[in-house]
């Protein structure tokens, strides 16, 4: 297969992207990576994430570049009748519409999901919001950290006796984006079977609650409320991080009896497997406060390379806690093409994280540089709506100067 022939399994699917910031653009970028045609609609001022400080390439933030590759960009002023009518027509000409406005905004813009689907029954409409389209929290604003807090995840993150800690990556936003993609793919399959579209309602809080997984099941069936997990697993005391003598942290996951014994051999603690306090995982869990100082002292006598080498020799899973400079140069990350370089026609380039979905027989298209604000307005209006040139000129005149950089109060959500 030649590079130009790479189309992806979603070739022929048109996605109208009405989203901004993170959860929605992340979802539509995944669909674009899989070969869908994604048309991103922005206001004349542009997606607010274009202006998130401090890093910029060609006037747009790296935040924006990280989640908006391989999309076409159209500017529509939805405060005007012509803009709303163009949006309605584009929605009717699409397979999927994804939006992440607060509930009720779409209707205030003069669009009705019900009317659109009456006109195009095969249309798939996906809404992403903080709390869903119904329920007592429906109208509340939501950001990633709010959802991490409300879902209970933050209550388990951090050290015991210390304040709760936000996860280092915005899992509330990203998980909502991923669940939205899963739902859209399911809806595409359903449409293939019976021709019907779907209305999808994705709540960030729902997604985070679902990801409580076994922690949620533990509480629901035992009544025990888990506290901060710190460096360790709550059920496996030898599934935790340790600091080596060279000051670098590693994570050890000795979660079977064989691995436990291998850990003891690696650290030359040959007496521990026969110690009644540590005879099995239940005993080790009960006596973890006695076990951890022994293991910590042993790791403190080894530099990171020696510790990793010894553990790998015993087939005990181990990983260094990498900083991002190490991640970017990691041989496995590099081999799997998880760092991409995108270039535009003017010669500018930007490096971003790659696509983890590897399809051997139908890889997605090569990623393309995110488009400047409104760059594809004329092309899309002409091709999708067959709009006359004089009307196209009116739409293009709606693109004003760029929004100033958001240097204060910048959100990661």
Q: Does residue 238 have a pLDDT over 80?
A: yes
The pLDDT of 276-302, averaged and rounded, is 98
DSSP 4: G
Nearest residue to 69 (alpha-carbon basis) of 365, 356, 333, 374: 365
**What are the E-state strand segments in 71-170?**
72-75, 96-99, 124-129
Q: What CA–CA distances, in Å, run from 346 to 57, 342, 350, 379, 380? A: 12, 12, 12, 20, 22
pLDDT tens digits, 138-184: 999 999 999 999 999 999 999 999 999 999 999 999 999 999 999 99
**CB-based contact 100:24 (threshold 8 Å):** yes
SS3 for 241-281 is EEECCCCCEEEEECCCHHHHHHHHHHCCCCCHHHCHHHCCH
* pLDDT value for 409: 30
β pairing state of 349-353 and 339-343: antiparallel
Q: Which residues of 102-125 are buried (b: 16+ CB within 10 A; e: fewer)?
A: bbeebeebebebeebbeebeebbb
* DSSP sequence for 280-325: SHHHHHHTHHHHHHHHHHHHHTS-HHHHHHHHHHTT--EEE---HH
Which residues, including other chains, have CB under 8 Å from residue 58's CB and lie 6 or more apart?
A: 344, 346, 348, 372
The pLDDT of 334-343, averaged and rounded, is 97
* pLDDT value for 413: 41
CA dihedral angle for residue 265, residue 271, residue 275, residue 280, rounded to 10 degrees: 10
The two three-digit tokens of residue 109, written as one number? 């813009």
Q: Does residue 404 have a pLDDT over 60?
A: no
pLDDT tens digits, 89-118: 999 999 999 999 999 999 999 899 999 999
Which residues, including other chains, have CB under 8 Å from residue 40's CB and lie 6 or more apart?
A: 17, 19, 25, 28, 47, 68, 71, 72, 73, 74, 371
β pairing state of 249-253 and 318-320: antiparallel
The pLDDT of 314-342, averaged and rounded, is 98
Q: Does residue 45 have a pLDDT over 70?
A: yes
* Positions marked catalytic: 173
Confidence of residue 6 (pLDDT cuts 50, 70, 90): confident
* pLDDT value for 148: 98
The pLDDT of 220-246, averaged and rounded, is 96
Residue count of the chain, please give it.
413
* pLDDT value for 394: 85
Mean pLDDT, all residues of the chain: 94
């Amino acid at each position: 297969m030649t590079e130009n022939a790479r189309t992806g399994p979603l070739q022929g699917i048109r996605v109208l992207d009405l989203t901004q910031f993170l959860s929605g653009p992340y979802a539509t970028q995944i669909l674009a990576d899989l070969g869908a045609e994604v048309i991103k609609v922005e206001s004349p001022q542009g997606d607010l994430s274009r202006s998130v400080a401090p890093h910029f390439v060609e006037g747009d933030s790296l935040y924006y570049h990280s989640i908006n590759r391989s999309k076409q960009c159209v500017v529509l002023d939805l405060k005007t009748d012509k803009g709303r009518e163009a949006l309605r027509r584009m929605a009717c000409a699409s397979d999927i519409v994804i939006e992440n406005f607060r509930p009720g905004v779409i209707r205030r813009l003069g669009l009705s999901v019900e009317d659109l689907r009456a006109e195009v029954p095969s249309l798939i409409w996906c809404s992403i919001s903080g709390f869903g389209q119904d329920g007592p929290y429906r109208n509340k604003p939501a950001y990633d950290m709010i959802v991490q807090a409300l879902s209970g995840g933050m209550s388990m993150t951090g050290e015991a006796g210390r304040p709760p800690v936000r996860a280092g990556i915005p899992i509330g936003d990203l998980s909502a984006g991923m669940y939205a993609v899963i739902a859209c793919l399911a809806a595409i399959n359903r449409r293939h079977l019976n021709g019907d579209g779907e209305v999808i309602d994705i709540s960030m809080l729902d997604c985070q609650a679902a990801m409580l997984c076994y922690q949620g099941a533990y509480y629901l069936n035992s009544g025990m409320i888990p506290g901060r997990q710190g460096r360790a697993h709550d059920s496996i005391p030898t599934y935790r991080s340790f600091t080596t003598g060279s000051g670098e942290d590693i994570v050890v996951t000795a979660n079977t009896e064989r691995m436990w014994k291998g850990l003891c051999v690696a650290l030359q603690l040959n007496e521990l497997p026969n110690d009644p306090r540590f005879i099995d995982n239940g005993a080790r869990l009960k006596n973890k406060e006695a076990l951890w100082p022994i293991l910590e002292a042993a790791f403190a006598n080894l530099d990171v390379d020696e510790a990793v080498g010894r553990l790998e020799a015993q087939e005990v899973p181990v990983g260094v806690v990498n900083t991002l400079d190490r991640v970017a140069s990691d041989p496995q990350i590099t081999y799997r093409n998880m760092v991409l370089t995108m270039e535009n026609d003017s010669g500018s380039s930007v490096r971003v994280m790659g696509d983890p979905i590897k399809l051997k027989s139908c890889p997605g298209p090569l990623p393309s540089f995110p488009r400047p604000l409104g760059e594809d307005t004329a092309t899309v209006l002409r091709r999708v709506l067959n709009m006359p040139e004089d009307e196209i000129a009116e739409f293009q005149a709606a693109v004003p100067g760029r929004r100033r950089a958001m240097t204060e109060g910048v959100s990661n959500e």
